[in-house]
Amino acid sequence: MPAFRQDLESVAPYVPGRSEAEILAEYGLDHVTKLASNESPVQPFPEVVQAIAAAASNVNRYPDTTYQRLGPMLADHLGVPVDHLWFGGGGANILLCVTLSTTGPGSSVVYAHPSFLVYRLSTAVAGAESVEVPLDGEHRHDIDAMIAAVRDDTRLLYVCNPNNPTGTHVPSSEVLRLLDAVPESVLVVVDEAYHHYVEADDYWSMVSLVDERPNLAVLQTFSKIYGLAGLRIGYLISRPDLLDPLRKTQLPFTATNLAQVAAVAALRHTDRLAERIETNADGRAELVQGLKARGMATADSQTNFVFARLHDDPLAVTEGLLSRGVIIRPTGTAWQRITVGTPSEIAEFFDALDAVVSGVGSP
């Protein structure tokens, strides 16, 4: 039997949302509504699909690791120099590399809980210690508690804003207060995977501040509003003196050529994002209103999902919904996460929810 790292015994692997194929087979269904993984409910722009198809014959070649087409386009879109960008195979790939490059045994990582599970996983893989700071009573980052949690051995701090899985945000002024308070030796990564969906007036992206702050990096992705989750391409924005050492733990060719082609095509049509943002806001409001009308508590969402307490027995509700072909995301708490789907998917969710709740009792 080969020998493995003993500390890996305590590492719980990331468990993704259950797939449509899995639920179709398990329950003998002919239709599934997937509202578990915060994917875009609509496909990429048609021009993106066409660009992917046109580039498919070139997959015998390795990807461009210099991002000659994508880098300048995204830099222009964000208003940053091209050397401020680092690409990877989705945000999770970058987060793992960031953690490996900054931490290790004898160091610690601070982040909120519950928050994106990859923070915990990447910290464990790096052999560092997780310092999980509970969210406040409104399911938001407790900035004072996070500042207090920073130790002498802390090398990395994650702020998921808006937060996954709760959908809540903290005002950007609070993020600035945290940056002012923590030592510059602590790298602060602000995860803005859902920033496109935010409507709150007190929120703005931290991208414009990366040159002013020597310990700030901002993570964004093409997975959400652009609908490229299946191609896995994300990026980190920061100063070159930070990016150069961070990327040393990244293996080559993580962002595929099809992912790069798709991202380039998507950036040509950013004028269409406003429509997607409005459609998401409408669907989010419909979800929240429907849940509240049923007496179910919800957190304030600024994302493409809603965090809700559907019942005192969340497992029974989750399983009941699965048996009716509706997939939502359990969170290991009394609350569950529901992705904003199309109008018909939201209607299917509520029909199934009503049937399940009536069978297990009132929430």
CA dist 336 → 9, 317, 360 (Å)? 28, 10, 16
* Sequence-distant (≥ 6) Cβ neighbours of residue 312 within 8 angstroms: 334, 363
pLDDT for the residue 245: 97
For the 46-268 domain, the top CATH level (class) is: alpha beta
pLDDT of residue 333: 93
- Contact assessment for residue 86 and residue 94, using Cβ atoms and an 8 Å cutoff: yes
Q: What's the pLDDT score for residue 360? A: 73
The predicted pLDDT at position 14 comes to: 82
- Would you state the pLDDT for residue 361? 61
Distance in angstroms (rounded) separating the CA atoms of residues 11 and 120: 9
pLDDT number for residue 11:
79
On whether the pTM is more than 0.85, the answer is yes
Q: Would you state the pLDDT for residue 280?
A: 98
CATH annotation of 16-43+272-360:
3.90.1150.10
Q: What is the pLDDT at residue 10?
A: 78
Q: What is the pLDDT along the chain (363 residues), one digit of tens a residue?
A: 898 888 888 778 888 888 899 999 888 998 999 999 999 999 999 999 999 999 999 999 999 999 999 999 999 999 999 999 999 999 999 999 999 999 999 999 999 999 999 999 999 999 999 999 999 999 999 999 999 999 999 999 999 999 999 999 999 999 999 999 999 999 999 999 999 999 999 999 999 999 999 999 999 999 999 999 999 999 999 999 999 999 999 999 999 999 999 999 999 999 999 999 999 999 999 999 999 999 999 999 999 999 999 999 999 999 999 999 999 999 989 999 999 999 999 999 999 999 999 877 655
pLDDT of res. 1: 85
Domain boundary assignment for the chain: 16-43+272-360, 46-268
